[in-house]
Chain A
Amino acid sequence: MNLLTHTLDSLWQVVLVGLLLGAGLPSLFALGVRALDTGRGSDGTPNPAARTAAVLCFAVVACAILAGILLLASDFLAGTFGIDIF
């Protein structure tokens, strides 16, 4: 019974975060790709507003990947250099 409640409790968190990061981030990335493409003028270069929006989208995704790497290395950094990130 304890196991069941524990599992259910973990389950909704994993699903929620999974949807937020696992589906949300690639959607944001897709939004960036779209901004670059639709903002393209007749000469083929994207207009500044579209470019800024795209860069913003990609930056958020890049930050998330960086956070992922830091998460993996957090024990190592804490153990070796005494840096606590999370």
Chain B
Amino acid sequence: MVGVRRTGRVSRRDAEFTPPSLYIHVPTTPQSTDVTAEFVVLLVVVVTALAFDFTNGFHDTGNAMATSIATGALKPKTAVTLSATLNLVGAFLSVEVAATVAKGVVDLDTVGGTDLLLIVFAGLVGAILWNISTWLFGLPSSSSHALFGGLVGAALASIGVQGVVWDGVLGKVLIPAVLAPVIAALVSTVGIWSMHRLTRSVSNEHRDRGFRLGQIGTASLMSLAHGTNDAQKTMGVIFLALVAHGTITADTDMPFWVKVACAVAIALGTYLGGWRIIRTLGKGLVEIAPPQGLAAESSSAAIILTSSHFGLPLSTTHVATGSILGTGLGTKGAEVRWSVARRMVVAWVITLPCAAVVGATCWALAHLIGGMPGVLVVFAILCALAVFMWLRSRRQPVDASNVTADWDDKLAPAPGASETVTGEGRS
């Protein structure tokens, strides 16, 4: 009955020349009769989305926790455990009705069914591969940009130029990316300057103990915010996939298992800890003492929590990096390692195009092979590349034991570097 009513509504709308919408197309136009193959494709897309959520987690641990780990406010393992727990809680706090993924950046309303599944899948693969490569090089880059990039690439390849909302790319991705680090650096520069002035007379010991406590509070707030905002993105992707498959309609409430799966995936990723990125943010950019840590965390938390309310959603990664950089600018005699900052900026600039190229390539490959085999081949390539990059990372491992070793201009500290530091401390 429902199906019939819907069909009736479609024809009436078509008569009024309303552009076709995802919500109407999907349930009424099954494009393939092979139910098993369709289900397998859906399953692969959902697994890929959760994998993206997982990379999102470990890629962004550093945004909240890098400074707390660097100043010793929290032990590395404690920090990632706290952050993972708060990400888990945060994920359950997000309730956004979810067909809004990449809304205003990619126009996915013109496609439906298997075509849409394929675009989402290719976009996710592009985003995951970019996230893992930047992690390998220890570069903090925005996971949202990677997801937008992957989807833009896949949409370009399949729908064409009109599949991308270029105004949205400019307004939601490019302009915020330029502004975020500048605003964050300004706020944290002012913050650290004023904190230094106010605590000039205080002994370092008392000052640092107080500031370390403050850092834990702000870092926790950022972790919670991360769980709320970022797990929601993956929930949106899975929701979109389920609608495209026809399992649910766009009016359905978010299935509870999707929430649980996304929350657990992002928490596990966070717990794994992107140590390479934590090291770059905490040790590579500037030397961080407790005042710098608190200034950076406060600036990041304030901007991330308020910016979207003023209609300028800023990427957590860009804000966190800008804030940390700003504390270096606001501290007299502090060294900012501009070479590290430059590498990060390059990574930010190429995130969107690179993820787009991978997304487009994956879409083309899956499309050429066609159907379930195409999706499975791309998924196999994704797994192979992920394992390859993980093996590469083992050559220069960065983990909880050496993440805070002195920065020697290399991503991974020389073997035994952490022991050397402790040894010097003892003598």
Contact = CB atoms under 8 A, between A and B. Distances in A.
Interface of A: 3, 6-7, 9-11, 13-15, 17-19, 21-23, 25-27, 29-34, 36-38, 61-62, 65, 68-69, 71-73, 75-76, 79-80
A18 B183 contact: yes
B324 to A, nearest CB: 13
Contacts of B202: 33-34, 37-38
A73 B221 CA distance: 12
Interface stretch (B135-143, B192-200, B269-277, B337-345): B192-200
A69 B228 CA distance: 11
A68 B170 CA distance: 29
Contacts of B217: 61-62, 65
Interface of B: 90, 92-96, 167, 170-171, 175, 179, 183-184, 186-188, 190-191, 194-195, 198-199, 201-203, 206-207, 210-211, 214, 217-218, 221, 224-225, 228, 291, 294-295, 298-303, 305-307, 310-312, 314, 323
Given A17-B302, A22-B303, A29-B214, A76 B94 contact: yes
Contacts of B300: 22
B307 A14 contact: yes
- Nearest 8 CB-CB pairings of A with B: A22-B302, A23-B191, A10-B312, A21-B302, A33-B210, A22-B299, A22-B187, A26-B298
Contacts of A72: 90, 93, 224-225, 228, 305
Contacts of A19: 186-187, 190
A7 B175 CA distance: 8
Nearest to B211: A33
A17 B221 contact: no
Contacts of B298: 21-23, 25-26
